[in-house]
Structure 1
Amino acid sequence: MDASGYAAWAAAVTSAATLVVTTLVSGRREQVRWARDALTDAFVAFLSASWKHSDLARSGLPGDPAVAPGLAREYAEMRSHLTRLRLLTSADVVTAGEVLLRLQREVQEATTQAGRHTALEAASTARMEVVAAAKKAMDLP
């Protein structure tokens, strides 16, 4: 084989190596992007269900049968999205989410207007803690 044959062979090997490295790096980047997008979606869905739950609770009196199905539905949504968060994020975020979920249950089970108000305030504070934990987990300011 002459010099041009070796040069062609070296170019082909270099091209193949570049293709492999580029494919691996691009694949990893896409995986990280997918995980970040899925995590963002899970955070938004969890917090959205929490807000809806609180808004429904504010719209009726404790024990109101017209509000109870909506509260149960949004609570179930929160549980479902918390399961997704368990798969995608840190223990700190999951712990904050569990605290919020328990407080939303207290909102739902409050028997007096004053008790519901206190539970709603606690849930609001816990919601801010979930946001702070989520931002920290995602390296956001």
Structure 2
Amino acid sequence: MKVVIQRVSEARVKVEEAIVGEIKQGLLLLIGIDENDEQTDADWLVQKILNLRIFGDEAGKLNLSVLDVSGEILCISQFTLIADYKKGNRPSFIKAAKPDKAIPLFEYFKTEIARSPLKIESGIFGADMKVSLVNDGPVTIVFDSQTKV
């Protein structure tokens, strides 16, 4: 699984002009699921994300996690993160998990992250979504469970 983590002061997702998910201060997570991903990948990512210290403390140092600041989380599925761009100029998405695997794993990820006391919102898997955000910092981190980076 690949996750792009963006620290935001606000974010929302619309489907057909209706807001389906909206948060204030917290994290926007763009989540791509590879055909080889398993629940253990989601488990690793959930723990890393919840404890990632990317919010400023009273001295302005990045010492606080989303849990520490009682932030909110918006999860967006994004298969394009699994793009293979090595040949030519048109990316291939052949390694992205098919919906029969990706949907349950995305739902599992959301269920596990929702075990935290935080407000968790989500887009709609497979929908044409319009995501807007105010990136705070900006602070953007990328995790890949396949390489644990």
Give me the TM-score of the superposition, normalised by structure 2: 0.28
Structure in which a larger fraction of residues adopt strand: 2
Compare relative contact order (CA 8 Å, sep 6+) and give the higher one, 1 or 2: 2
Structure in which a larger fraction of residues adopt helix: 1
Larger Rg: 1
